[in-house]
């Protein structure tokens, strides 16, 4: 019994995407292409209709056994040719001699790959829509959950949690747009022969390609060599890396916000340490961030497949057997994992408020400065005064209100009542709530 080795096989995958890239699924797509090609030949009068129908009947994984293909491959050292031989074995009469007529291996392999990618991209699209829904739901729910915003890891200005979710939702939407735009460049097949001249199909080359792709609902390549050009596939890997980058960003934010010193949000299922029972480890988001690195790491090698030698070499093949399934399976996995986390993300509103008030009003110095400008104080003058007062607050660990009211210069410019109003964080979030509402209003219809 062969035991699984790659964690994709037993840990980091969901069945729907995993099934797209099994050897049986790949074999079936090859058979689908061969059946389509045979029917095209019959339509053009190149082979008997009865032969095409027999090939179509037998082009099924249940009939053409993967085990038999493997046995033949052990002798031929050519997986595609082994499929052709295995299909020929099960075809009755002389139908077998018409299989793969005029085609080269990558006419079948690249076209079949496009069929796999169509299924895989549909799953990723569904995943992105699921993520988008949760992000919009959370944006609405937390549009007035006031919190501290951070830049350079430091407390900056007040904002809302709804803005975080709305921002991520807009990013997920761009990935959906990219996915839909990429389809027309990726879902492309070909029947052009060994160097792209279509010589094996004679004068009917364009029609063979057009009709075969029409049967498979793929776009025919405008021009190709022995292979579909790899810029298409590299673009797709870049898209998966972009999606992974967004999930990495969200994961890092949750991990940081779950730190003991911050503790504003936490994953719904928290893993403890094997030796320290008190710990609340963000294991799932850490896993997402780790797998995102694997997905991004495939981009450079995928880009290098663009530069194949002459009309092709085979250096892309071994790499793509790893990069493409791995990229899709892992992207699907981390998308679904993140959606589950965000849907049940836990909020500690007490800590959110505690952190918002932690700087004792210093996060609102911009607000105070602008209010002083309204009173006639120069902008730079106000900035320098508040910088001086802020340093005193830090040194003496006292509130901005207290320090301002006792300062000879500042106390003559503001009343205690005014300061109380200026130093309410919820009074200085600008258009935050409106921005969230606008994002939700624009993006919600995309969910259908």
Nearest 5°: phi and psi at 151?
A: -130, 145
* Beta-carbon count within 10 A of 16 CB: 15
Q: Angle at CA 109, nearest 5°, toward 123 and 22? A: 45
Alpha carbons 436 and 445: distance in angstroms, whole number: 15
DSSP of 284-351, one letter per residue? HHHHHHHHHHHHHHHHHHHHHTT--STT--SHHHHHHHHHHHHHHHHHHHHHHHHHHHHHT-EE-HHH
Alpha carbons 262 and 427: distance in angstroms, whole number: 23
- CA distance from start to end of the chain: 47
Nearest 5°: phi and psi at 12?
A: -110, 55
- Cβ 40 vs Cβ 212: under 8 Å: yes
Cβ-count burial of 318 within 10 angstroms (0-12 exposed, 13-18 middle, 19+ buried)? exposed
- Cβ 176 vs Cβ 129: under 8 Å: yes
- Cβ 446 vs Cβ 177: under 8 Å: no
Residue 281, SS3 per DSSP: strand
Beta bridge partners of 417: none
Alpha carbons 388 and 31: distance in angstroms, whole number: 76
Please name which of 267, 321, 263 lies closest in space to residue 289, comparing C-alpha atoms. 267
Q: Which of 6, 78, 271, 273 is catalytic?
A: 273
The number of residues in the chain equals 448
Does 273 qualify as catalytic in the annotation? yes
Cβ-count burial of 184 within 10 angstroms (0-12 exposed, 13-18 middle, 19+ buried)? exposed
Does 383 qualify as catalytic in the annotation? no
Cβ-count burial of 104 within 10 angstroms (0-12 exposed, 13-18 middle, 19+ buried)? buried
**Pairing of β 219-220 and β 188-189:** parallel
Active-site residues, by number, are 152, 273
């Amino acid at each position: 019994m062969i035991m699984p080795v790659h964690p994709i096989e037993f840990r980091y995958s969901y069945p729907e995407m995993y099934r797209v890239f099994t050897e049986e699924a790949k074999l079936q797509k090859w058979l689908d292409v061969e059946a389509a090609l045979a029917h095209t030949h019959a339509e053009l009068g190149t082979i008997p209709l009865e032969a095409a129908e027999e090939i179509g009947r037998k082009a099924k994984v249940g009939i053409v056994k993967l085990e038999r293909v493997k046995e033949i491959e052990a002798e031929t050292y050519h997986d595609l040719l082994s499929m052709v031989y295995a299909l020929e074995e099960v075809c009755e009469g002389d139908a077998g001699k018409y299989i793969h007529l005029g085609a080269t291996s990558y006419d079948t392999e690249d076209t079949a790959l496009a069929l796999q990618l169509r299924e895989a991209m549909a799953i990723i699209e569904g995943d992105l829509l699921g993520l988008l829904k949760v992000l919009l739901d959370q944006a609405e729910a937390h549009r007035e959950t006031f919190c501290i915003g951070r830049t350079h890891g430091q407390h900056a200005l007040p904002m809302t949690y709804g803005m975080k979710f709305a921002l991520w939702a807009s990013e997920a939407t761009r990935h959906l747009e990219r996915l839909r735009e990429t389809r027309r460049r990726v879902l492309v097949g070909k029947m052009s022969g060994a160097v792209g001249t279509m010589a094996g199909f004679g004068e009917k080359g364009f029609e063979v390609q057009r009709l075969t792709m029409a049967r498979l609902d793929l776009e025919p390549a405008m021009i190709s060599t022995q292979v579909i050009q790899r810029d298409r596939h590299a673009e797709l890997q870049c898209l998966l890396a972009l999606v992974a980058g967004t999930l990495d960003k969200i994961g890092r934010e949750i991990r940081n916000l779950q730190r003991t010193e911050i503790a504003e949000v936490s994953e719904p299922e928290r893993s403890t340490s094997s030796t320290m029972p008190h710990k609340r480890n963000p294991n799932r988001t850490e896993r997402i961030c780790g797998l995102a690195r694997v997905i991004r790491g495939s981009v450079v090698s995928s880009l290098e497949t663009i530069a194949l030698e002459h009309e092709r070499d085979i250096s892309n093949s071994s790499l793509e057997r790893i990069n493409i399934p791995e990229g899709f399976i892992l992207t699907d996995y981390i998308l679904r994992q993140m959606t589950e986390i965000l849907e049940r993300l836990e909020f500690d509103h007490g800590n959110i408020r505690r952190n918002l008030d932690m700087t004792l009003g210093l996060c609102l110095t911009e607000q105070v400065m602008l209010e002083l400008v309204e009173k006639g104080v120069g902008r730079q003058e106000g900035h320098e005064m508040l910088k001086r007062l802020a340093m005193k607050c830090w040194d003496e660990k006292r509130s901005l209100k207290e320090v301002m009211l006792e300062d000879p210069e500042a106390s003559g410019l503001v009343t205690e009542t005014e300061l109380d109003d200026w130093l309410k964080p919820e009074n200085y979030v600008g258009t935050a709530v409106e921005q969230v509402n606008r994002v939700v209003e624009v993006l919600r219809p995309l969910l259908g």
